[in-house]
Structure 1
């Protein structure tokens, strides 16, 4: 999903402020424009993860032109942050993988030592 972000220009003494109009309460900042956009992506992902965890619906993104007409955003810079909602989904998928026996034994031993199932251990390592 492509979320528009509104960026309030910063200066030497003030960071660039970012607001995500389609996600109430989602905001961020950065010392540079690039950092502000990167931080906005992280803020959006965290906001969406919270909504998914709480079982809430994900708001649709509106076009920039709709938000630009709002007086509160007059003079702000606009950008788009692309979020892959599939990466945030907790939908379980069954997969089939092939590993050498010695690696599988190491994987199972590490999972057991961590007190996790093989699948949980792989997921945990991937999310680190």
Structure 2
């Protein structure tokens, strides 16, 4: 979903700071505009962290954001925010692996009191530098 991002430069600061006005109190920063836009995704995920029941705000119109006090002295760009991280529905996935790998996974999962699927999900999230959300 496309959301406006209000970008500012601060004297004496390298890079940019930004606010996602549709997510109250959601700020980010980056050395470049590209990094800033990328960091907006992480900022939104952190905004929802632990409160996934929050309502997803509708994007504000650019006219409203451009006329806002927050946008004064800044630039407004539009960033694509992927909200799929909020979808917790489990879906089946078919993967192929050698038998010894499956057996290794099963032993490790059993030792931790997990199912094979839970172990694979937890391991994949850990490898991706993410935490499992339960």
Tell whether the structures are fold-level matches, with TM greater than 0.5: yes
- Give the distance between the partners of 1:38 and 1:96, measured in 2 at CA: 30
Give the CA deviation at 1:101. Answer: 2.6
Give the CA deviation at 1:103. Answer: 2.4
Contact preservation (8 Å) 1:28, 1:40: yes
Residue 56 (structure 2) aligns with: 58
TM-score w.r.t. the length of structure 2 is: 0.76
More helix by share: 1
Give the CA deviation at 1:59. Answer: 1.0
1:36-58 deviation digits (Å, cap 9, x = unpaired): 33322211122134431xx2211
Matches within 5 A, 1:1-128: 1-11=1-11, 13-15=12-14, 16-52=16-52, 55-128=53-126
Question: Structure 1: which 5+ residue stretches go unaligned?
Answer: none
1:47-79 deviation digits (Å, cap 9, x = unpaired): 134431xx2211111232320111331231222
Give the CA deviation at 1:97. Answer: 4.0
Question: Structure 2: which 5+ residue stretches go unaligned?
Answer: 127-134
Q: Aligned residue pairs: how many?
A: 125
- Give the distance between the partners of 1:50 and 1:43, measured in 2 at CA: 13
- Give the distance between the partners of 2:50 and 2:62, measured in 1 at CA: 24
**SS in structure 1 of the partner of residue 91 of structure 2:** coil
**SS in structure 2 of the partner of residue 80 of structure 1:** strand
Say if 1:51 and 1:2 are closer, same or farther in 2 by CA, change over 3 A. Answer: farther
